[in-house]
Structure 1
């Protein structure tokens, strides 16, 4: 079956999530999530677990459901449409799936069932100040100690990092190697500083000052470990794209309703042909973004060891297109609404903020196009371009 045609199970998943959000995730619930110090109300997160949504990225052998990335994207799109604030992609998809990739039997038993049942959250600290959303731009170090390693450095914009129970920290190890370490919240030397993005989502900045860690999840040559981290990041990028497609669909629906009811000179402004043409263009772009995202998810699900370049190309292409479309969507929505589209009180304003943030989080269109070109031409990994002021001034 093509990724563009959902099967019965996927349609039921989308329908159940949409009904849940319509019934139980209104403006007051979202505001409570945004106001929560962790950006994640525990009771709401537990409800996600009871539906089985948090278990979807976790392997069946670890009390999860072992769902495909395409299934996860179906759910993520509905979360985006409903403007869900809880860090599903950051914690369950990025953090949970990466931990499942590298953890030994003891750590799997300790953490993965808890992620699936909603009692634990982990976050991948991928980026560093000035790193432009490039996981390979890494200055954090791990020095061998009597028992394990001591980690020193800084991590910025950690998605889902506020209130996480543990952090997956990538650091450079002597001998031109990279390691991935599990650091539990509250470990001496670890300072977690939560920040709120302008769309209401929470991230965290980490400062590591000789933080002890006896949990080295993996240590190896730079290229081997970076390939592992990039695979985890690509899955999260695709799920993030699906979530953003849902946000675009929600903004489109609000705009269409407004154009059908707002009247000028005695008729709805949506009856003007030029307005209709602009709305059709937006709808086509959203459908293209959805198709490319689902294609990227399908590639990731079918990936073999020899096809990592294909997965990287698809994820970069999807993110580049979705980022560009998200920017166009919020710009057009505001212009078609007029000034009301930017107000805090009107519901479109929250969608505009989320689309503006989503278009640059995990790397904007220009960065992903550079990555796409690098992978397609077979160039070695290179740092992405320096982030713009927009990309490094999320937190308020």
Structure 2
């Protein structure tokens, strides 16, 4: 399958990630990660640090690599291809990059060395119960105290939240201001309840009942703070698309190998021309999904970070397409395999579950199309031309 003109550095990054996964991330490691209460094996997360992957989203001034989102997406696609369970997108892209956007120097010095070394893992609690994926619907409240702020409320579907060392979260301050806060795991009044998604990935639900020691990272009107949150989610959505493309590519390869070895009536299933046409259609879907994802990443990598409306337009368009392509991929791969494709014992079954979960995570196709439509209605259509 085409790599769509990666540069030399990206080729080496993809190759090293593939070799690492082939050498050290087999089914036994994946099952151990699923079984771990945090869905993240500490030894593997430390290896990610040693490989420099956790330094990629961190600026050079903070001893990171300051990698572009395009480069990060190259890595993340390979993690998806290897069905890596550790929450790289949730922690390194969503949470860490948001922290970098808003944290003051003293907090950066306190947390980022540990993030790069793998000893600190951040999570962003972006959503609240019953509000789907609308990050602007914030009911959690914050009241100033002598030590910082007291927070009260709930967050749900906290990606990478199981076992995180600190949490970023948004809360209302008064009736018309919103704040972005940092809170240490283990703070009195904080309850973290891990749970598993359909595909085995760990997330968390958190309840804050008067947590007294939250630190403010950013505070202001909704028009000032909400764009910071939306930018972080849009950026992570693009990385999630890249991860999903990798899962799709792996499912495609598994299905193709099955069709070229499984025989019925004296010849391989893949010799049937109708089957070949269906496989070509899937290959085109994957290539288009990859192209849209990389186009969206390039918008974030512009010198000025891209126009907010254009970023939202590209991330929503990419996710809407990838969500539908992921659904098509798992449905077709199961049909082409027959019942064996859904079994836990067969490799494809794990990829099918990941694709089914990925099609709705960060918002499904319908939600993203609504977001895309809003950028056309509310934003300047000429902004992307």
Do both share a fold (TM > 0.5)? yes
Aligned pairs (5 A) from 1:107-122 = 107-122=107-122
TM-score (norm 2): 0.96
What per-residue deviation string (whole Å, max 9, x for no partner) do you get for residues 183-210 of structure 1?
A: 0000000000000112111000000000
Alpha-carbon distance between aligned partners in 2 of 1:52 and 1:80, rounded to the nearest angstrom: 18
Q: Does 1:161 align with 2:161?
A: yes
Question: After the TM superposition, which residues 295-374 of structure 1 pair with which residues of structure 2 at under 5 Å, given as runs?
Answer: 295-302=295-302, 304=304, 307-374=307-374
Give 1:4 deviation, angstroms.
Answer: 4.2
* Conservation of the 8 A alpha-carbon contact between 2:151 and 2:214: no
Per the alignment, residue 201 of structure 1 pairs with 201
Distance (Å, rounded) in 2 between the aligned partners of 1:110 and 1:306: 29
Query: What is the TM-score with the length of structure 1 in the denominator?
Result: 0.94
Provide the alpha-carbon RMSD of the alignment.
Answer: 1.3
Residue 255 of structure 2 corresponds to: 255
Q: 1:176: how far off?
A: 0.4
1:334–1:149 Cα change, 3 Å: same
Q: Deviations over 1:352-383 (max 9, x none)?
A: 00000001000000000000000111169xxx
Task: Give the Cα separation in 2 of the matches to 1:69 and 1:62.
Answer: 17
Which residue of the partner structure matches residue 291 of structure 2?
Answer: 291
Task: Please name the residue that 2:73 is paired with.
Answer: 73
State the secondary structure of the residue aligned to 1:209: strand
| 2:97 is aligned with 1:97 | yes
1:174 aligns with 2:174: yes
Q: Distance in 1 between matches of 2:138 and 2:11?
A: 41
CA contact (8 A) 1:248 1:286 kept: yes
8 Å CA contact 2:241–2:322 kept in 1: the answer is yes
**In the alignment, is the contact (CA less than 8 A) between 1:124 and 1:167 conserved in 2?**
yes
The answer on whether the counterparts of 1:191 and 1:207 sit within 8 Å (CA) in structure 2 is yes
Does the 8 A contact of 1:323 with 1:360 survive in 2?
yes
Cα shift at 1:146: 2.6
Find out whether 1:23 has 2:30 as its counterpart: no
In the TM superposition, what is the alpha-carbon distance from 1:213 to its structure 2 partner? 2.8
* Structure 2 residue 244 is matched with structure 1 residue 228: no
1:143-189 CA distance string (max 9 Å, x none): 12232211011000000000000000100111401100000000000
Counterpart of 2:53 in 1: which secondary structure?
A: coil
Matched, 1:134 2:134: yes
Q: How many Å apart are 1:307 and its aligned residue?
A: 1.1
Q: Secondary structure at the match of 1:147?
A: coil
Identify the residue that residue 266 of structure 1 maps to in structure 2.
Answer: 266
Q: What number of residue pairs does the alignment pair up?
A: 378
Contact 1:69 1:298 in 2 (8 A): yes
Alpha-carbon deviations, 1:19-77, whole Å to 9, x = none? 11011100001011111111011011000100000100111111110000000000000
Deviations 1:278-333 (A, max 9, x none): 00000000000000000000001116377111111000000000000000000000
- Contact 2:40–2:86 (Cα < 8 Å) also in 1: yes
Question: Runs in 1 of length 4+ with deviation above 6 angstroms?
Answer: none
Q: Which residue of 1 aligns with 2:82?
A: 82
Offset at 1:224?
1.3
Change (3 A) 1:51 1:342: same
Whether the 8 Å contact between 1:77 and 1:243 is mirrored in structure 2 is yes
The structure-2 alpha-carbon separation of the partners of 1:9 and 1:128, relative to structure 1 and needing over 3 Å to count, comes to: same
2:13 corresponds to 1:47: no
1:184 and 1:347 map into 2 onto residues whose CA distance is 38
8 Å CA contact retained: 1:131, 1:138: no
Q: Unmatched 5+ residue regions in structure 2? A: 381-385
1:375 aligned partner: 375
Q: In structure 1, the residue corresponding to 2:98 is in which secondary structure?
A: helix
Q: Structure 1 residues 136-145 or 279-288, which shifts more?
A: 136-145
Q: Residues 4 and 295 of structure 1 are in contact (CA less than 8 Å); yes or no, is this contact kept in structure 2?
A: no
| In 1, Cα distance between equivalents of 2:244 and 2:111 | 28
SS at match of 2:307: helix
